[in-house]
Amino acid sequence: MDSKIAILAFAALFMFFGCIGMDEVAGNYAEPDYGYATKGVAAAPAPMVAEEAYYGGADSYDYESDQMVIKEGSLSVNVETGTLEEKKDELTAIIDDYNAELSYIRFNEYNTEKRYALTVKIAPTKFDSFMEEVSALGEVKSIDSSVEDVTEEYIDIQTRIENLEEELDRLNALYDEADNVEEILMIEKEVTRVQTSLEIYQRQALDLERRSAQSTITIYLIEEKPALETDLIMPLEEILNLFFGALSFAIMLLVGLAGFLIPIVLVFLVLRAIYRAISKKKKK
């Protein structure tokens, strides 16, 4: 009897600890920041190594003590007639002197002007002095600059990245403990969702890092074309108007005369025919 009781007690303990083990493998890990429960397994951590290298990473910028600022500007400069190419060469020399990057250049010609549009990437510390030197190339028509503090946005993104990385680690641990296909599939689905979100935030962080590391300046070099001389064009227009007016009047005059002369000519021809007929009868 005692042996039967011992066997039953051992079986009960075995079932109890078995249930606990299953709860640990497929347990619900509540994540209030994301509004879902992680259930199941993560993929191997290898993909995350590549993702860490994709952007600067949490250690690339001391966002807890530094301020992250994005500075951008634009400048329109009118140059003297006939000097556009020369001023463009001077501008490219200034860009080289500042160790800036010319990322875009385009030339356009219109009826009233010719222009170069250039986009320059430059260190924020050189922003103001560079704008001053470019302004000296001609007459400044417009100038604009903006400063955007994105520190809080960057901190928020980094916090989300850290939380997602921690979640991915937990999923990896669950993946290692999974012992059936259903659990593995559930965890892989969760991994895909977390990893997709992680990649999006990493790209956003990288974009902010790049834009704050280098300021963007758009420059327009403009050469206005002289107004067309109208003294020669207007007489020609007047002459053409006179010519077509005279031609129109002559046509109208011919049409009017034709309407008046045709009946007279017809009467003359009839009378002439009658006269000839009478003359022939008298001769006979």
What does the pLDDT look like over 19-58, one tens digit per residue? 434 343 333 333 334 333 333 333 333 333 333 333 445 4
| Residues 181, 130: Cα–Cα separation, whole Å | 62
pLDDT band at 229 (very low <50, low <70, confident <90, very high): low
Q: Is the pLDDT of residue 264 over 60?
A: yes
Q: Is the pLDDT of residue 238 over 60?
A: yes
Dihedral angle of Cα 161, 162, 168, 174, to the nearest 10 degrees: -160
Work out the angle at residue 167's Cα, subtended by the Cα atoms of residues 163 and 169, and round it to the nearest 5 degrees.
120
Q: Which residue in 3, 35, 74 sits closest to 163, CA to CA?
A: 35
pLDDT band at 241 (very low <50, low <70, confident <90, very high): confident
Q: With 0-12 CB in 10 A as exposed, 13-18 as middle and 19+ as buried, what is 75?
A: buried
Mean pLDDT lowest among 57-66, 173-182, 196-205, 214-223? 57-66
Collect all residues with Cβ–Cβ distance below 8 Å to 244 and sequence separation of at least 6.
none
Find the mean pLDDT for residues 73-80.
Answer: 96
Q: What are phi and psi of 146, to 5 degrees?
A: -140, 145
Single pTM value for the model: 0.55
Within 13 Å, how many C-alpha atoms sit on residue 143's CB side? 14
